[in-house]
């Protein structure tokens, strides 16, 4: 069979030892040296102004062109279009923060949110999964698998279904809610429950990949990172190819930081954007291995934008034992993509922040009062941003874009529980009683 593209066009490259692999042939997605892979392309792009014109024209057709594949030349240039598996993802709103959020964060920012919950499966994972499943289709893959209780399994199941591919989701029996089961089941995934913990599921998932060659749909697979880059491309295009001063993101396994950093470097390389933008990575106190080790570092902030600091930070890094948190999707004690996160935070002269449980829940409520129902992970980013503003890491007037990673509709139980105290019980069914409660 003629190969769709060769290793001089698109390839995998280990971020530690530089070893190269074939993207379409790789099944394990972990280098023999233990390193993660980057996807690399030999970009032969049209001139920036031609590309920009194309991107605007496709935006005009937005109801038929995905907000991810709008940027195909930058995301997966050599993949033949017939392999693209899209669910019309990614044309999401970029909105100015409402007055409540603006006041809560403080610091006189020009504050924006990109609402990545307004996607087919309700989370930012769709940005990446459309690319992962498209690459899998091109590689002739028949089944993908993952062990995830939330957004990843929902997204993998949906895109696998669209591709006519099998998807296996492995979950701990009795430890997931109907809401978490609904999406994989509706999308026809094979849902297998194990009589064990979530860690047992992760172990099985890892061995399925390592021993049986089952294609992983989880964060190990760097094809996903390529799609997540559309966040940066969309924001840059929205601001007329100007970067914001800061991107603020929650960090779980780290795909957001990784992809924002990669896309940032790409647009700078291509001279499609010229100013720097910095990444603020935020973690909850319940699971903050990156923010915690960043905090333990003794170097001055202005000295952290260097390879030497990166090595030092890697040395300081240690996994943490996770605690309970509303922000379950980022409850990860040892992020898969930690090396990439560190690389991008350092390269962008970025920062890490920790958010308390109280603050992240408060942030969700504050957004609600502006009319937006965001997930607790968005709350982590907003609470981290507020800390950074307080410490004057971010200057007044800065243009800041916060990545809102999922819709609050995936977290209705915790939201209802947190706010149940606000329900008013009327003592009878009379209209006058209700009117009195309403003070009219």
Which of 22, 200, 242, 334 binds a copy of itself (CB under 8 A)? It is 200
Kindly identify the residues of this chain, within the stretch 57-86, that bind a copy of itself according to CB under 8 A: 59-60, 62-64
| Residue 189 or 394 with smaller CB distance to a copy of itself | 189
CB of 423 to a copy of itself, least distance (A): 5
Structural tokens at position 319: 């996994």
Cα dihedral 73, 237, 227, 11, rounded to 10, equals 40
Which of 138, 251, 347, 364 binds a copy of itself (CB under 8 A)? It is 364
CA distance 55 to 237: 8
Q: Compute CA distances 355 → 48, 101, 286, whole Å.
A: 39, 16, 9
For residue 361, give the nearest of 422, 288, 415 by alpha carbon.
Answer: 415
Taking CB under 8 A as the binding criterion, the range among 15-23, 38-46, 75-83, 198-206 that sits at the site for a copy of itself is 198-206
The two beta strands, 143-146 and 166-172, are parallel
- Tell me if 363 contacts a copy of itself by CB under 8 A: no
Kindly identify the residues of this chain, within the stretch 33-62, that bind a copy of itself according to CB under 8 A: 56, 59-60, 62
CB of 292 to a copy of itself, least distance (A): 30
Which of 159, 215, 233, 313 binds a copy of itself (CB under 8 A)? It is 159
| Residue 45 or 204 with smaller CB distance to a copy of itself | 204
| Residue 12 or 158 with smaller CB distance to a copy of itself | 158
| Residue 392 or 427 with smaller CB distance to a copy of itself | 427
CB of 435 to a copy of itself, least distance (A): 5
**Residue 231, C-beta contacts closer than 8 angstroms, at least 6 positions apart:** 114, 116, 124, 127, 247, 256, 259, 260, 263, 403
What's phi and psi for 342, nearest 5 deg?
-60, -45
CB of 104 to a copy of itself, least distance (A): 13
Kindly identify the residues of this chain, within the stretch 85-104, that bind a copy of itself according to CB under 8 A: 87-88, 91-95, 98-99
**Residue 174, C-beta contacts closer than 8 angstroms, at least 6 positions apart:** 193
Which of 139, 204, 297, 322 binds a copy of itself (CB under 8 A)? It is 204
Which of 186, 315, 316, 318 binds a copy of itself (CB under 8 A)? It is 186
The helix-helix angle for 230-238 and 48-60 (nearest 10°) equals 90
Taking CB under 8 A as the binding criterion, the range among 1-9, 120-128, 321-329, 343-351 that sits at the site for a copy of itself is 120-128
- Tell me if 32 contacts a copy of itself by CB under 8 A: no
- Tell me if 371 contacts a copy of itself by CB under 8 A: yes
| Residue 1 or 195 with smaller CB distance to a copy of itself | 195
CB of 433 to a copy of itself, least distance (A): 9
Which of 74, 161, 360, 388 binds a copy of itself (CB under 8 A)? It is 161
CB of 323 to a copy of itself, least distance (A): 23
Do residues 194 and 204 make contact, with C-beta atoms less than 8 angstroms apart? yes
Kindly identify the residues of this chain, within the stretch 339-358, that bind a copy of itself according to CB under 8 A: none
What's phi and psi for 424, nearest 5 deg?
-105, 125
Do residues 233 and 74 make contact, with C-beta atoms less than 8 angstroms apart? yes
Do residues 330 and 384 make contact, with C-beta atoms less than 8 angstroms apart? no
For residue 152, give the nearest of 201, 114, 112, 195 by alpha carbon.
Answer: 201
Taking CB under 8 A as the binding criterion, the range among 193-201, 215-223, 258-266, 391-399 that sits at the site for a copy of itself is 193-201
Query: How big is the CA angle at 12 (ends 7 and 14), to the nearest 5 degrees?
Result: 130
**The total number of residues written for the chain in this structure:** 440
| Residue 271 or 430 with smaller CB distance to a copy of itself | 430
Query: How big is the CA angle at 176 (ends 171 and 178), to the nearest 5 degrees?
Result: 115
CB of 409 to a copy of itself, least distance (A): 5
- Tell me if 310 contacts a copy of itself by CB under 8 A: no
The two beta strands, 10-14 and 20-21, are antiparallel
Residue 197 DSSP label: -
Kindly identify the residues of this chain, within the stretch 217-276, that bind a copy of itself according to CB under 8 A: 234, 238
For residue 180, give the nearest of 373, 409, 410, 375 by alpha carbon.
Answer: 410
């Amino acid at each position: 069979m003629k190969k769709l593209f060769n290793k001089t066009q698109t390839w995998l490259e280990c971020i530690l030892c530089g070893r190269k692999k074939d993207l379409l042939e790789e099944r394990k997605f972990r280098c023999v040296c233990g390193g993660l892979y980057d996807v690399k392309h030999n970009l032969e792009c049209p001139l920036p102004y031609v590309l920009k014109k194309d991107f605007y024209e496709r935006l005009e057709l937005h109801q038929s062109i995905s907000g991810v594949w709008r940027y195909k030349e930058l995301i997966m240039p050599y993949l033949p279009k017939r392999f693209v598996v899209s669910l019309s993802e990614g044309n999401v709103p970029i909105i100015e923060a409402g007055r409540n959020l603006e006041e809560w964060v403080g610091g006189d920012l020009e504050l924006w949110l990109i609402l990545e919950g307004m996607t087919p499966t309700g989370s930012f994972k769709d940005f990446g999964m459309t690319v992962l499943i498209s690459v899998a289709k091109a590689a002739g893959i028949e089944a993908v698998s993952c062990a995830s209780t939330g957004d990843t399994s929902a997204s993998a199941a949906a895109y696998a279904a669209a591709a006519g591919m099998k998807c296996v989701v492995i979950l701990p029996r009795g430890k997931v809610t109907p809401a978490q089961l609904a999406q994989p089941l509706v999308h026809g995934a094979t849902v297998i429950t194990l009589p064990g913990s979530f860690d047992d599921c992760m172990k099985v998932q890892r061995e399925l990949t390592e021993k049986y060659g089952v294609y992983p749909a989880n964060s190990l697979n760097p094809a996903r990172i390529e799609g997540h880059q559309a966040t940066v491309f969309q924001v840059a295009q929205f601001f007329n190819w100007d970067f914001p001063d800061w991107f603020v993101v929650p960090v779980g396994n780290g795909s957001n930081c990784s992809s924002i950093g990669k896309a940032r470097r790409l647009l700078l390389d291509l001279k499609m954007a010229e100013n720097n933008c910095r990444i603020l990575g935020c973690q909850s106190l319940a699971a903050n291995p990156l923010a915690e080790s960043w905090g333990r570092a003794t170097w001055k902030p202005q000295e952290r934008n260097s390879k030497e600091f990166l090595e030092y930070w890697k040395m300081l890094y240690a996994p943490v034992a996770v605690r309970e948190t509303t922000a379950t999707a980022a409850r990860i004690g040892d992020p898969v993509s930690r090396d990439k996160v560190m690389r991008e935070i350092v390269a962008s002269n970025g920062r890490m922040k920790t958010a308390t449980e109280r603050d992240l829940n408060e942030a969700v409520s504050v957004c609600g009062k502006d009319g937006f129902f965001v997930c607790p992970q968005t709350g982590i980013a907003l609470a981290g941003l507020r800390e950074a503003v307080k410490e004057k890491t971010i200057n007044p007037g800065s243009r800041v874009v916060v990545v809102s990673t999922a819709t609050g509709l995936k977290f209705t139980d915790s939201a209802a529980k947190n706010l149940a105290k606000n329900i008013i019980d009327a003592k009878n069914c009379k209209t006058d009683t209700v009117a009195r409660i309403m003070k009219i």
